[in-house]
Each structure stands twice: as C-alpha cells, then as structure tokens.
Amino acid sequence: MHLRAGGTWDQYDYKDGALSSGAVVDTDYRDHVLSSLGVRLGYVLSPRYEIFGQLATDVREYDNLIPSQSYNRDSSGTRAAAGLKFTLQPQRLTGEVFGGVMRQDYDHSDFSDLSKPYFGALAVWKPVSHVTATGFIDRSLEETTVFSGADYASGSVDTTYGFEVERRLTSKLSVNGRAAYTRSDFQNFDRLDTIIDAGAGLRYYVMPQVFVGADLRIIDRDSNDLAAQYSRNQVLVSVGYTPARNRDYSIFPEQEAGAPAAPRTPGIFSGFYAGAQLGHGGLTTATFGPRDGGGFDDANMGGLGVSYGLFAGWNTEISNWVLGLEIDAGDSNADWYHKKDKGTAPTVYVEKDGSVGLSARVGYLLDGGLLYGKLGAVKTDFHTYDTDNNNVPGAADQKQSETGTRIGLGLEIPASRNLFVRTDYSYTRYDDYGVTYQTLIDGAVTESFETSDAVFSLGLGWRFGGNRPQMAARSATELRGPYLGAQLGHGTLGTELTGVHNTVSAPAAFTGDFAKTGFTGGFFAGYGYTLSQVYVGLELEAEAANFGWSHERVAGGGSGGRDFAVDKRGGYGASLRVGYVLPNGGLLYGRVGAVETRFNTFYARGPNTPVDRSDTLDGTRFGLGAEITASENSFVRMDYSYTRYSDSVDLLSNPVGDPDDMRFENSESLVRLGLGFRF
C-alpha cells in the first residue's frame, strides 16, 4: 500500500494596468486565493502495475466583487478519480492514467454548478537512453474574466492533449520539440476556444541538473468570438533546474530497445563533392517611398518562383561533427508585380536573376545522415522597374547586383558510396538599395527596396574518391507503423490581390503581389507501411502561425489612404505520403493533401469603417521531404510544401457609395524541420 497526502495554497494579487491614454485600470477584482487538500491511496499489484484512488478539494475565494456587480466567482469543489500507474521495463515506458468526476459549486446562484468528467494521463517513453518522449492529457477548471454586457463566464473547462520529445546530442547538449492542443469550453457563456501551443529549443547543461536554454514558442488561439482570436511568437532564453533529471534518465536499464543500432562508418561525408539542385521559394521586398501628389506607401511585396543551380564543396569529419566550405551558383525566375490603372499611381516590379554564393557549414552526424547549418555571403542580380503611370519616360529601369547574408540548414542522406541526396533551405537578406524615378508633379523621388529570399532546394550530389567507405544498411521495415512528432517551420505567405478601386466614380483596375516570411510550429502524426523499398502512409497535422504582410498608404495632406493586410493563423491538414527508402534507411517522399487554414484579412479605405474578418480557407498542399534516422525509434525530417488556397476572400471596402471591390488569393511556401518517433 502507498499513501500520499498534501495541500496547496496559492494567492493571486493582480497589479493595476494602464491604457495608452494613461488611464489606470483597476484589476483588484481578480485577486483571489486557491487552496486544495488531497489524498491518494495506492495498491501495488505487481512491480509493473499499481492501482490508486485519489480525492482532492478545490476552494476559490475572491477578495472583491466583480465591478458593477453584487457578486464574485467564489466556489468550492472536489476532484475524485481512480487510476492505474505502470512501469513497463522491456518497453521502457512509465506513466499513469486516471478517470473520475470534477465538481464545482458556485456561491452566485446565476452560475450553474459544474459536474464534468475528470481525466488525465502521463506517459514517459525512453526508446533509447538518449531519447525521452513524454505524452500527456490534462483536464482542469480555469478562472476567467470573460464577459459581455451583463453576462459573465464562471470559468472555463480546459482539456489539453500534448507531447514533448527530447533528444540528447551529447552528455550536455539536447534538443527538444513540443506541441499541445487545448480546448477551452467557457461555462455559463457562449464561447469556445481552441489553442495550439508549439515550440522547439536547445538546452545546454552546465551542471547535471542546471541548464541554459533557448526556445522558440508559437501560440495560436482560435475562437468563435473574433475579438478573442490571437497569435503570438516568443523567443525565450532561460536558466533551469531539473533535480530529477539523473533519476529520470536512469528509470530503465541502459540496454537499448528496438532494432539494433546500425554502426556509423566514419569518413562517409569527408572530402570533395559537387552536385546540382532545383529549388522553389519566395522573393520578398519591403518598399517605402513617396507618391506623386503627396503621401507615401509602405508595403510588403513579394512572389514565389523556381530556382536551379550547381554546388561544390569540401568537408572534414571531427568525431560526430562535420566542418566544410561550399560554393554555389544558380538562376531564378522569382518576381513580383504591382500596378494600378491611375495616372498618379505606380507600376513597379522586381525580378531575381543569377547568383553566386560562398558558405561555411557545420553539421552533426546522426544515424541516418547529416544535419547541417550554414552561414555565408551571396551576390545576386536583380532587375527593378519603378514609374509613375503618368510619366513613363521618367521610369527607373535598372539592373544591379546586391550582396546578402545567407543562413540555412539542411539534411544529407547517402544513397551509395558516392551518391547523396540533400534537402536545403536558405534565407538571404540583401543590402538595401534605392531607386530614383521622375514623377510628373513632384519631380525626382527615391523609393527604398529591402529584399530577401527564402528558398528550398532538392539536390543530388557526388562525393569524389574511388575507395569511399560503404554506408551501413538498415531495413525498410523499420519505417512501418504509427509515428508522431513536433516541427518548427519557416515560410512565405503570398497573396495575389486584384480588384477595382472606386467602382462607381472612377474605376481603376488594381493588381499586386504581396508577401512576407514568418515562423510556424505544430505537430504531426501518421501511419506508414513499406512494400519492399516503397513507402506509403497517411498523415495528420496541426500548426500555429502568427505572421503576414501589410500595406500602408498615407495620402497627401496626411489623410488616410488604403491600408490592408493578411495574417496567417492556425490550421489543420491531412495528406498521403508516398516515398522510397534508401539503403541506409533514409526516406525520400512526396505528399499531396488538403488543409484548412485560418486567415485574418483587413482592409481600410480612408474614413470608411474598416473590414476586419477571419476566414478558414481550404487549400491543396503538395510537397516533398526527407527523413533520416536519429536513433532506433526517432527520426529527423525536413519537409517542404506549397499550398494553393482554392477559396478566395472577396470584399467591398464599404457596402454603399463608391466602394473598392477586391479579391485576395493566398498561397504559401513552407519548410518545416521536425523531430518524430515511431512506435
């Protein structure tokens, strides 16, 4: 028998807030105390299983009344559950699962008492000694301040499903990915939220239990209340203490589970190499400049295009690390275009042409291939055209070369002794430049261009040398079965905006390519099967995002012009994956599927009431990617996809009078780096 008892007492004291006007917002009504007493009784059935029952109280006492009301959210309740705790050593799995009843009684008679199913689960799986995967389910009653008029929510029942994966690269350095999905059901109030919380990071242990970490976190909240929707990106630097780390890492004996490790042959990635690559990605430009007749434009322009090129380099292996230099050259047809059929409006476009670059590469050797990062410089030719429509002879039509800084990452997979396949993603930020053209009214004006590109490439390369080491082989059957993982992405959201301005008084056709890059985060789960070396699988995915493009126009005299923007939020999808398993167990695959993604669209014209709407759009996603084995059950993958949304967003700037009639057609180019586990 095991008996455990305990209690908690938490006091929440909220400080007053302040509006942008300087007015103070009193938040004392949120101050409260939460206390709980609990007991848990367990009975050991065997060294592997223990059953238990648990009971806990839940008391919530507020210091003050809700403003302008004669009541607060005081309540008391209980949580009762029975469950099973397990420790399965052959499978290296430990955890618990429970279910019961959650009750909460409110002092205020208009708040309905709560009686809901109460459940949870926690599982920690260590397929090998350097990999830890944690999955969890949690249900809780959360406090809230949500209200509308005289209607107030008593609280929200939050149900969360999530997981975290940690992979030790060395005894001190580890990488982790995590994702969670929460459904918040507000009580006594018509509101339902769904939240995706995903992230990835690195931890460096300066001591066995003390670490320094860096994380990127992405949160997206969707809601049936438009005002409650939001997305947030966070970059966090942390110092942490994990007193149970040594114990957690020694829960199970150190023999490995799963298929035996394939020994890594040294020297596979060393020496000279060369190859060719085909790419696709986004070209984006932040433009800023005056307009004929007064005012200025500030816009995120951009488009997508194809690139191709050659690369060559040299690597050397030092233990599990690879250092190298690489030169590349190529060409591209990426461009963007903007035009409005009005005399004082501009016509402008940018085309990307040939480029040459030099990069330093640092990589880490995993069981199935090389994961690398790179940093370098690139010189690219651009063609820029900019003019006022009423003075085309004064147009700027120039070709120039710009130097940029390139960062990137990629995967390389040996296909034979000499042949290798790689996936590569690079982001390049170029030096700013100005373009001067002649307007009819204001004379010479200069517009600034801040250009960048984000390109995914699939490459095929050859390592020179007739006596290269033979790579280790793995069976394709290791890729069979269910899997799940977390991923972090970066991509380009592009919109083709077309329509007619001033449809009644002076119709003017408009077309423009707008785009910007940003980060996403999410998780994936699926099932795969192999027939000889052919792989077939189905996959589900969910992601959170918080990025988009914008356009701001200030007309002459400082009055408002046309401001519009598109932001990408969370989404869900399903796809079919078909691929080929290379001899070392690496997987090359293509995918096709459907996604649903939420977009926020904003359009404001002068003093008219702006259009601000949220739409969930259907899209078709095509892509390809590569997976390499990181350990016996874990894998790292790099996935590229292009999504074209079949649904457009059509709107009128103002329903009556002299409206603009506009259509937004969205597409995106997205690269994701994922860490996953097969069961």
End-to-end CA distance of the chain: 33
What band does 249 get if pLDDT is binned at 50, 70 and 90? very low
User: So what's the pLDDT on residue 244?
Assistant: 59
In a domain, 629, yes or no: yes
- Over residues 156-166, the pLDDT tens digits come to 999 999 988 88
Q: Does residue 663 surpass a pLDDT of 70?
A: yes
CA angle 153, 157, 159 (to 5 degrees): 150
User: So what's the pLDDT on residue 556?
Assistant: 62
- Over residues 485-527, the pLDDT tens digits come to 888 899 999 999 999 999 998 899 999 999 999 999 888 999 9
In a domain, 145, yes or no: yes
β-pair partners for 161: 137, 181
β-pair partners for 464: none
User: So what's the pLDDT on residue 540?
Assistant: 93
Domain match, 239 and 334 both? no
Domain match, 161 and 298 both? no
What band does 608 get if pLDDT is binned at 50, 70 and 90? confident
DSSP letter (8 states) at residue 556: G
Distance CA(615)–CA(623), nearest Å, equals 24
pTM comes to 0.77
In a domain, 394, yes or no: yes
Domain match, 312 and 428 both? yes
User: So what's the pLDDT on residue 455?
Assistant: 97
Domain match, 86 and 232 both? yes
Domain carrying residue 71: 2-248
Contact present, 383 and 377 (Cβ < 8 Å): no
Mean pLDDT of the chain: 90
What band does 256 get if pLDDT is binned at 50, 70 and 90? very low
What band does 245 get if pLDDT is binned at 50, 70 and 90? low
- Over residues 397-452, the pLDDT tens digits come to 999 999 999 999 999 999 998 999 999 999 999 999 999 998 887 788 999 999 99
CATH code at 89?
Answer: 2.40.160
Please name the residues in contact with 357: beta carbons below 8 A apart, sequence gap of 6 or more: 327, 328, 329, 376, 377, 378, 379, 406
Count of structural domains within the chain: 2
User: So what's the pLDDT on residue 20?
Assistant: 78
In a domain, 39, yes or no: yes
Judging by beta carbons within 10 Å of its beta carbon (0-12, 13-18, 19+), is residue 381 exposed, middle or buried? middle
In a domain, 263, yes or no: no
Distance CA(345)–CA(50), nearest Å, equals 75
In a domain, 290, yes or no: yes
Domain match, 134 and 278 both? no
CATH code at 401?
Answer: 2.40.160.20
What is the mean pLDDT of the segment spanning 46-66? 94
Cα dihedral 91, 94, 100, 105 in deg (nearest 10): -150
Distance CA(61)–CA(76), nearest Å, equals 8
Distance CA(130)–CA(172), nearest Å, equals 11
Distance CA(141)–CA(118), nearest Å, equals 10
Domain match, 71 and 156 both? yes
Domain match, 199 and 329 both? no
In a domain, 257, yes or no: no
What is the mean pLDDT of the segment spanning 289-311? 90
Contact present, 283 and 669 (Cβ < 8 Å): no
User: So what's the pLDDT on residue 251?
Assistant: 39
Domain match, 188 and 277 both? no
